[in-house]
Each structure stands twice: as structure tokens, then as C-alpha cells.
Chains A and B, each alone.
Chain A
Amino acid sequence: MPDLLLELFSEEIPARMQRKAAEDLRKLVTDALVERGLVYEGAKAFATPRRLALHIAGLPVRGRDVREERKGPRVGAPEAAIQGFLKAAGLTSLDQATIISDPKKGDSYVAIIEKPGQETVAAIAEIVPAVIRGFPWPKSMRWGAASAAGASLRWVRPLHAILCTFGAETEEPEVVPFEVDGIVSSNITYGHRFHAPGAITVKRFDDYVPSLEKAKVVLDADRRKEIILNDARTLAFAQGLELVEDEGLLEEVAGLVEWPVVLMGSFEERFLEIPGEAIRATIRANQKCFVLSSPSPLGGEGGIASAMTDEGTSGSSFPHPSASQTPSPPRGEGKLANRFLLTANLVASDGGKVITAGNERVVRARLSDAAYFFATDKGDLPDLDTLKESAEKLGLELAKPLDQRMAKLDKLGVVFHAKLGTQGERVQRIAALARELAPIVGADPDLAERAAKLAKADLPTEMVGEFPELQGLMGRKYAELQGEHPSVCAAIEEHYKPLGPSDRVPADPVSVAVALADKLDTLVGFWAIDEKPTGSKDPYALRRAALGVIRLVVENGVRLPLIDALEQQAGKIDQRSKPKGGIQAQGAAMHLFGERSVRVETIDLLSFFHDRLKVMLRDQGARHDLVDAVLAGSPSPLGGEGGIASAMTDEGTSGSSFPHPSASQTPSPPRGEGSDDLLLITHRVAALARFLETQDGKSLLAGYKRAANILKAEEKKDGEGAFAGAADLQLIAGAGLIEEKALAVALANATPAAAAAVAKEDYEGAMAALAELRPAVDAFFDQVTVNDPDPALRINRLKLLNQLRVATRAVADFGRIAG
């Protein structure tokens, strides 16, 4: 079966776009082929800086013939109907139609349309130009003389040639003929820009790849990565060093070369006094080079290699209080070697000496800058007098360099957000909240406050100005240098965490306090000025902040009364804006939360947290529907029917990001006391999930649903609330069935037991109490007819079912459980 080879040869494609572009090309072309009935055996796409290539193996020479039957009117139908049928079927007269007989409907016309399969070459010649014209580049451009006209071709950079051949292995493949804006398809490609710029004639994929190799082009990005990685490791090993691996950089570098040549350069040892992360950042960002480390003298983990690449997953720095006792914890500085690896795109005639020397020059210049930044940041600022006022306001020690930076940040009046004031004001709020949260998370309030006050102090440093990605980390370094408490140093770096669902959650209580304070202040602030995430837009990463709060609370087992924290912070923000009005007006609307009166925004923000919790559980593969069930559960302590239904505001935030089909249809569950304790909610959801996995749980849920359905139907007749209240036990004793009695007894035992367990936050116990109901419920439905002809018995049995509904509600609203 014949193969297709397609190559789109252009000027340099941005490295970050190459992989997706290759994948898009494969998908678009194969989808279009399949749509035409052209099925293939395999397809693979490739990208280099100058070409996208696609190989499709095992295509048919032509598509299958298509036979289509089109039903027409009955024989003898009005002329208009006949004519319409002929026109639609493409026939000129009824002679071309067939008559079929149906015993019921009689004879009718059928048009049998046979289309011969399209030649694959013709199909490709239509598909490829269309794919090129509509290609989904994230950014594309026009170029050259053709761009004078309105609708000229767009590509990521100028497109120069298209190679497109089709044919079987045994024969000479043909060039698939087409033209796109003056570029005529051919069987010609070009080699490496400097080593082999000449034209190369290609037959098919089998000779295409080796021809390119000969012309110093490695087609497959993964192979280029392999070559770079292997050569880098070998070069490092030869010097007794270790490569600091960096997958993101490797991917990018592989997209910058067609023929990778790894070379080693060095820089002066004196630059190693700069923190390793900063050296790596500058060499990586500006030079796209890898750094190297000396193997740890202990021969084990440690070293910059693990410290920097495992950031997200390992618990490297905590919980190891001892690790940060020394001013320079084993985070890698000192271990970085004064070498780097660059990846050239050339086999230079001097073996790469000039290239290496050139790169060293630039690295040297960059590191000189970094060394200057580091030295400046460690020193005193000029004009300290002008910072006195800020220092006093924030309680900073002006003798210390990092404190000076915070004072400067405040003095400069750097705006955090136009409506939310300056960074200085924000830090004051965060510090106050961190202090308040400290006892709740088990942190020393003084340390929490101190850490919060220094948490943003590295923002005006030279180093962070140059490498924003080092924020937090540089703050930690500078804090260590001025002898701050280890927990304060750690919190300065860690308060940004977690940065996503898989990022490490800080565990040091001081870090937890500052991390929570930072995120809560952000959320309350943006809620106060009505800048909430909508749809795919979340410019302030508020979803991430809320998820961070949830993970901090849940993974550290923190009992945080969220409403209190949100309200307090909202109060501080209101106060700030009072003189200017604005926010206060919005903040005025209040709602009941349990028995308290709280801001509408606070309730809305709580709903946002609930939504994030559902998303988190869903992403973990857990039962997110149980969140609503639990939230809508018992009146105590999770708040009852009297709680606040924030349905209106809830939809806006949940709808798009949370594709839960029923979310937008069912009203939001009531929010009440206890629904702001995220840890309790997750415990409760987990207990409920485990219970529903058991036979008792499944059975009880089935019983509940049956009871609820019956009650719903009967309440339609008798009216809402007709079956409220206790069942008449005397009536049961006198006239009831034995199963009825058994259920009454079971309910009398289980209901208070479950409620008592919930009150003690013993959810397993509450589930166990409910499990006791199961045999009685099963037997009741087996043996008892609810709608007894005797109205008294009927009402009484319905009351029993209602009591079952009430009993389960102690744990959750079973009606909100899916399935």
C-alpha cells in the first residue's frame, strides 16, 4: 500500500510551537483523509526548526466506491414531489430510479447513486492546501510581495517549499500536484542551513530520513533530545560532573537546532558565590545552556540537581527543621560547577573553539550582572532616611537589607492593583491575618507576622527584577544572610505554594500561616472589587489561590473557620477604601450565615471554594457529587434549610469551569454554619464515599431513593409537609406489620445515634449508625404496602419514610447523590 510524505519547509519556527504544530498537521490531514473514507495504517509527524513533516503509511490508491440509496415518493405521487425527488437525487428522469414494493405502503421510487471512490492523490491535493491555509498557528504572519493583497497566505514564518510524494514502495512515487500561493509542490527538500543548503530530491519517507541525516538534519525531535542528553551526560561525566537535567530546556534546545552539537564552556569560579538558582536562571534564560554540578561528597542525593528539579514533588526542605538551621542549607550552592553546556547547530571547522569562546563571553557578561545584583541586594540602600516612615509603619528593622527593601517597596507605593492599593498596604493586611491565623495552624504568631512582613520584600531586589521566577527563593536567601529564624526564611519562599494541584504543600506552620494569609487576602480583595474568574479567564489566578487554600487546610489538617477569616480580611479592605468610597458601597449588602450577618461577597466566595473543592475531588477521581450532598445535609452543624442559597452568584463561577451537567440545573445547596470548614467537609465526603462503597451504603441509598420517590408522589396529593412529624407508634403497635415496627425501632435508635456521632465529628460512627437501618428498610419495602387502603396506616407509613429521610440528612442529603 502506498505511503504519503509531506514536508512544509519554512524559515525558523519558534521552538515552543514545533511539537504541537507537528501534531496538528498529523491530525488535520489524517482526519480529512478518514472523512473521505481513506483509511491508513499509521501516521507520524515530525518537526525541526525549519520543517514540519508528515509520513502516512498504508493508504489505498483510491477511496472505496460509495453506494447510496435515496428514498423517493410513492409511485403516482404528484408531479411536484417527483420533480423534487429527481432534482435532489441528481436524476434526469424516472427511468433512472428503481421501484421497490412494500406490502404496507405500496410501490415507491428509490434512486441508487453510485459514486466511484476518489483517487487518493486527488484527495491529498485538495486536503493539504486546505490544511495549510487554515493551519492553527498560535500566531501567524504575512510576508513578501504577495502580502500586498488582502488574503495572502499566513504561516508562522515565511513558507518556502512543499514536498509531497505519494506512491508504493515498489514504484516511483509521484509528486502530488498542487499549489499554495505560488508554492508548487515538489519532491525537493533542503538540508542544514550551513552544512548542506542545496536541493535534495526525495522519493519517500524511507530515503527522506537518511538523506536528511546525510545533509546534517535529524528529523525527529525526540532523537535530537536523546542526542543532546547523551552527549551532555557524557561530556559532564568526563569532567567528573553531573548534568543538572531540565526537561523544559531540553525540549526548547532541541527545537533550536537541526544538528545538535553539545559543547562545554566554563566561567570564573568567583561567580559561584552567586546563588546556584540565580546562575542557572541567567544561563538558562539568556543562553539556553545547561548547568552542571559537582557530585555530592556524600555520594547521595542533594546537590543542585535534585534540589532544583524536584522542587514540585519532593518535600526536600520540610519537615526537616534541622536542615535550615545553618545559614546555607544544602540546597545546592557551592555544588554548582563553573561549567555549562551549550548546544550548537554546527560542526565547526575548529571543533567549536570559537563558538565556545563566544558563549563564554556572553555567560561572563551575564554573570557579572548577576554578581552585581547579588552584591547590591546584600548591601544597604542609599537614602535610608527616606525609608524611616515606611519602616515604622510596617515594624521593620532598617539596619537589615531585606527590611530596607520592604520599606522601599512601601515607600515607592508600588500598586498591587489599582482598586486594592499598594503592595505595602497589602503586606500589612497579610501580616495581620498571618498573626491571627498562627494559633489556628500551630505557628508562633511573632514568626508568622515577621515572615509575612518580609514575604514580598524581595520584589524590589535587583535579582528578582531581572529574574522574576526567583521571587520567594531570593527572599529566602537574603533572609538567611541576615540571620532570620529558619521558619521565617522557609515561609518567605514557600508562601507562594502550592502553585497547582501537584505542587508541594508547605508543612511548616509558619509557612502555612503566611501562605493562607496571602491567598485569602488575594481572594477577598478581588471579590470585593468584583474581579472574579469568568469562563476561561482568570487573570489573577484566583482559582489556583482557592485550590491552594483548600490543599493547605486539608493536607495539614487545619480547622480553619473560613467565614471568620474572610470577613475579617474583607473588613480590612473595606476600611482601606472607606475614604474613597467605591468598595464600601458594594460591601454593604449583607446576608445571613447561620445566625450571623455576613457580606454577600463572603458567601459568594465560600461557594467558589465549594466549587473548587468539587473540581479538586473530581480531578482526583473522587465523588464530587458528594460535596453537594454533604453541604445540603443536616441542619446541625452544617446549617439547615434556613441557610443562604447563593444560587444566583454561584452559577457565574461554577458554570463554565465545572462541566457538571446538573450543576446549573439544581439550585445550590444551602450554605450554613460548618459549611466553611473545608477540612470537615472533606472528611465527611470521604466517610460518605466509603459508606456508599459498602453493601449497607448502596442498599440504604436505594431505600432512601425509593422512599423519596414515594414521598414525592404522595406529597403531590396531600401537600408539602403532610408527612412531617413522628409516626404514631401506638397505631403501629396496634395495627402495623412487624417490619413496620422494626423500622420504627431502628429509626428511633439510629437517628439520635447518627446525630450524636456527627456532633462529635465522628463520621464513621454516623455512617455505622445509619448502616443499622439497612435491614429494617429492606424488610419494610419487601413486606409493607405503603399506600394502605386505611388512610391512617398510609399516613403513618409515609411519616416513617419521612423519618428515614430526616435520619439520613444528619449525614448528607442523599437526594443529591448521583446514581
Chain B
Amino acid sequence: MAVSATLPDAMNPTRSFQGLLLTLQRFWAERGCVILQPYDMEVGAGTSHPGTMLRSLGPRPWRAAYVQPSRRPKDGRYGENPNRLQHYYQFQVILKPNPPNLQELYLQSLEAIGIDMKLHDIRFVEDDWENPTLGAWGLGWECWCDGMEVSQFTYFQQVAGIECAPVSGELTYGLERLACYLQNVESIMELNFNGLEGDDKVTYREVFLQAEQEYSRYNFEHADTAALFRRFAEAEAECRALLEKGESGERHLMVQPAYDQCLKAGHSFNLLDARGVISVTERQSYILRVRELAKACGAAWLKTAGGGANSGVEAN
């Protein structure tokens, strides 16, 4: 494979989970991305990281890549399903505006992690992406490798209900699934995490199985729903309060703390949803409430330096 010659075995993305992650970071770092670290809060997807969600709004150019642990309480299976976890890693790339050769860059990144284009059937299959809680949508594809979805490729058209100007290109790699394919194992738990063999080998199971079991119990059985309802309401109220207090004429001074509260409300909702205490009709209204917070944060972001306010970076 293309990369193996230049890397120590333990870092080979086809043998090592962390090797895969580090190879992608390096690849995108070499293409001008700032490498961020995971956001230090529970989020359902890499898109929720302020590095994507907020930075994709406004005129300022932005290039970033990062790993984001994604928490999906409802997807927990006590570690028993080979393909489903309540906590997994996404590798997220955001390029604003999207470069004209983004598809080529993406394909090069696949080459970098050991996918040979002469052997593998790569396809871009229609996928209209939408995230209702973030008020975001875009057009793009599921990227298929030999019939398996390995990435999401999206041109953001709207985020927080605001038209993207310019449009960002977003790439999301599902790291565990990709690694299973590269390492040719059937279950995520069997992934070689550190790329070593024998006694030194650490598997994904050793790192995460216990966590999957514990969090599944928590998510489905023991999370304190009364407390979660309360936390949802508190986060919602604080988000609104911070947005109000941060208003300063033309500018806004406290968007990111407010957005943190929006994320907290979102995670409380996800847990309540997993506990099965939210009915179908209520569900919609909770999603709408989070979206309203996200929209308000997005609008406030445009009044900050990061959002391009009075920065001299205008649409031109």
C-alpha cells in the first residue's frame, strides 16, 4: 500500500487505529488546516464543534481538521453489536470556502490511509445532508469504498438557519468503520488500536468495551430523567440569558459560552430520548427548541470578529 513504506508498522493506518487518525491529521495539516483538538463537551457529531458550526458562518476563510468523539446515547448496544456504539470517533475536516479540487483532495486522503485507487471502487452517491437541531443543510454525497460508506462529503448551504457565504466543504470520516475495513476485521472491538503485536497490542475492546457497557446502562436505564429535564431547561435559559447579556450594540461579546449551553441542552435531550421518556410529538418540539438556540447563537456569531463583523473581510 502507498504509505506503508514510509511509516513504522505501528503507525500504519491499515494496521493501527491511532495510525489512521494520525495519518489523517498529518495529511490535512500539510494542506493548511489548523489541527484542533476535540471539543471538551458531549456532542453528537463533529459538525457541532464550534470549529465547524460557528466558523462556517460569516465571510472569514477557515481551514480546520480534528477528531471529535461523538456521543449518540441511543446507539448504545452494551458493546454487543459489532458496528454500533454510543461513543465513537469522527474525523472532521472543514474548508471555507471549499477549494475547487476538494474531491481530489479527499481522494488523496484515502490514498494516504492506504486505499489504492486501482484496486478499490470509490463512488460518490447522492446524499442530502440535514441536521435539524443545528438548522443546517447541505448537498453532497456518501462516499463509498467497495460498497461501504466511509465518509460524508457535504457542501454546507445553510448553518443555524443562515445562508453560508461562502460555502464550506465538510468531510466526515467514520473512523471505526474505516479502520475495520482497512484492518479487515468484522467487529469494531477487534480493531488494533496501537498497531503493535503480541503482548504490546492494545485492542479497541480493551480501551472502550467497559465504557460502552457502563454508558449503555446509564443511557438506557439509570440516567436521572428529572435532572435531565431540569438541565435541559436550565441550559436553555442560560443560553438565552447569555445571548442577551452579550449584546453590545453592533457586536456580541459572549457567543461561545452561550453556544456551550446550546450543546448541553442538546445532549440532555439525546439522553432523555434514549431513556424513552420523550413522546413522538414532544420530540419534535424539543428539537425545535434546540434549533432556536442554535439559530440565535449563529446570528450572534456574525456580530463577532470570528464571524467577520467589522473585520474588513467582506464578501468580495
A positions within 8 Å CB-CB of B: 11-12, 14-16, 49, 139, 141-150, 156-158, 160, 194, 256-257, 287-289, 342, 344-346, 348-350, 354-355, 357-359, 361-363, 365, 413-415, 418
* Contact A361 to B181, CB < 8 A, known contacts A139-B139, A141-B167, A415-B281: yes
- Tell whether B207 is near chain A: CB-to-CB under 8 Å: no
B100 touches A158 (CB 8 A): yes
Q: Is the CB of A145 within 8 A of B166?
A: yes
* Contact yes or no, A149 B181, CB < 8 A: no
Once the chains bind, are B164 and A362 in contact (CB under 8 Å)? Answer: no
Q: In the complex, which of the residues A11, A14, A355, A414 contacts B121, with contact meaning CB atoms closer than 8 Å?
A: A355
Q: Taking the complex as formed, is B125 at the interface, i.e. its CB lies under 8 A from any CB of chain A? A: yes
Q: Tell me if A359 and B100 are in contact (CB < 8 A).
A: no
Let me know if B97 and A361 touch, CB within 8 A: no
Within the complex, the shortest CB–CB distance from A192 to chain B, in Å, comes to 11
Q: Which B residue's beta carbon lies closest to that of A287?
A: B147
CB distance from A363 to the nearest CB of B (A): 8
The answer to whether B147 and A147 touch across the interface, beta carbons within 8 angstroms, is: no
Q: Would you call B103 and A148 a contact (CB within 8 A)? A: no
Residue pairs across A and B with CB atoms within 8 Å: the count is: 119
Assembly CA distance A413 to B281 (angstroms): 12
A148 to B280, CA, bound (A): 39
Contact between chains at B83 and A359 (CB < 8 Å)? no
CB-defined contacts of B103 to chain A, threshold 8 Å: 11
The answer for the CA separation of A591 and B190 in the assembled complex, in Å, is 72
Contact of A12 with B119 in the complex, beta carbons under 8 Å? no
From known contacts A148-B166, A348-B121, A418-B281, infer whether A14 and B126 are also in contact, taking CB-CB under 8 Å: yes
B165 contacts across to A, CB distance below 8 A: 147-150
Whole-angstrom CA separation of A194 from B100 in the bound complex:
18
Q: Does B50 contact A (CB under 8 A)?
A: no
Across-interface contacts of A148 in B (CB, < 8 A): 59, 97, 165-166, 315-316
* A143, A158, A345 pick with most chain B CB within 10 angstroms: A143
Give the contacts of B97-123 with A (CB-CB under 8 A).
97-100, 103, 117-123
Q: CB distance A144 to B166 under 8 Å? A: yes
| Subset of 7 A-B contacts with CB under 8 Å | A11-B103, A15-B125, A143-B97, A194-B122, A256-B123, A346-B118, A357-B146
Whole-angstrom CA separation of A790 from B270 in the bound complex: 93
A156 contacts across to B, CB distance below 8 A: 139
Query: Would A362 and B120 count as touching, CB distance under 8 A?
Result: no
Q: From B97, B124, B147, B281, give the contact of A362 (CB < 8 A).
A: B147
Is A358's CB under 8 angstroms from B166's CB?
Answer: no
The CA-CA distance from A523 to B165 in the complex, in Å, is 46
**B167, A365: Cβ atoms closer than 8 Å:** no
Closest to A50 in B: B124
Please name all residues of chain B whose beta carbon is closer than 8 Å to the beta carbon of A354 when the two chains form the complex.
Answer: 119-120, 146
- On whether A365 and B82 interact (CB within 8 A), knowing A139-B139, A141-B155, the answer reads yes
Could you say which residues of chain B place their CB within 8 Å of the CB of A141?
138-139, 155, 157, 167
Query: Which A residue's beta carbon lies closest to that of B143?
Result: A12
Chain B residues with Cβ under 8 A from A15's Cβ? 125-126
A12→B126 CA distance, assembly (Å): 8
Contact (A350, B119) CB under 8 Å given A12-B124, A141-B155: yes
Q: How far is the CB of A496 from chain B (nearest CB, A)?
A: 22
Query: A372's closest neighbor in chain B, by CB?
Result: B81
- Interface flag for B45 (CB, 8 Å): no
Q: What 5 new A-B contacts, CB under 8 Å, besides A143-B97, A342-B147?
A: A12-B141, A14-B126, A141-B157, A145-B97, A194-B122
Chain B 32-75 interface residues, beta-carbon cutoff 8 Å to A? 59
| B166 contact set on A, CB distance < 8 A | 142, 144-148
Residues in B with CB closer than 8 Å to A288 are 125, 147
Cβ B120 vs Cβ A143 within 8 A = no
How distant is the Cα of A355 from the Cα of B147 in the complex, in angstroms? 8
A residues less than 8 Å from B247 (CB atoms): none
How far is the CB of A279 from the nearest CB of chain B, in Å?
A: 16
Residues of A within 8 Å of B124, CB to CB, are: 11-12, 49
Please state if A359 and B157 are interface contacts (CB–CB under 8 Å).
no
Q: Kindly state whether residue B148 has any CB partner on chain A within 8 Å.
A: yes
Contact at A358–B120, with CB atoms within 8 Å? yes
Asked if A358 and B123 sit within 8 Å, CB to CB, the answer is no
| With A148-B59, A148-B166 as contacts: A349 and B147 at CB distance below 8 Å | no
Report the bound CA distance from A139 to B138 in whole Å: 10
Chain A residues lying within 8 Å of B141, measured Cβ to Cβ, are: 12
B128 interface hit (Cβ, 8 Å): yes
Partner pick for A139 among B59, B128, B146, B181, CB 8 A cutoff: B128
B10 within 8 A of A: no
User: Are B280 and A414 neighbours in the complex by a CB distance under 8 Å?
Assistant: yes
Does the CB pair B139–A346 fall under 8 Å?
no
Residue of A with least CB distance to B117: A194
Q: A158-B155, A358-B120 are in contact. Are A144 and B147 (CB under 8 A)?
A: no
B155 neighbours in A (Cβ, 8 Å): 141-143, 157-158
Give, as a whole number of angstroms, the nearest-CB distance from A191 to chain B. 14
Report the 6 A-B pairs with minimum CB-CB distance, sorted nearest first: A358-B146, A14-B126, A359-B147, A148-B166, A12-B124, A147-B167
For residues 180 through 221 of chain B, which have their beta carbon under 8 Å from a beta carbon of chain A?
181, 186
Q: Which residues of B contact A149 (CB under 8 A)?
A: 165, 315-316
A144 in contact with B123 (CB, 8 Å): no
Whole-angstrom distance between the Cβ of B209 and the nearest chain A Cβ:
19
Which chain B residues border A145 with CB–CB below 8 Å? 97, 166
Bound state CA distance, A359 and B144, in angstroms?
A: 10
| Residues of chain B within 8 A of A256, CB atoms compared | 123, 125
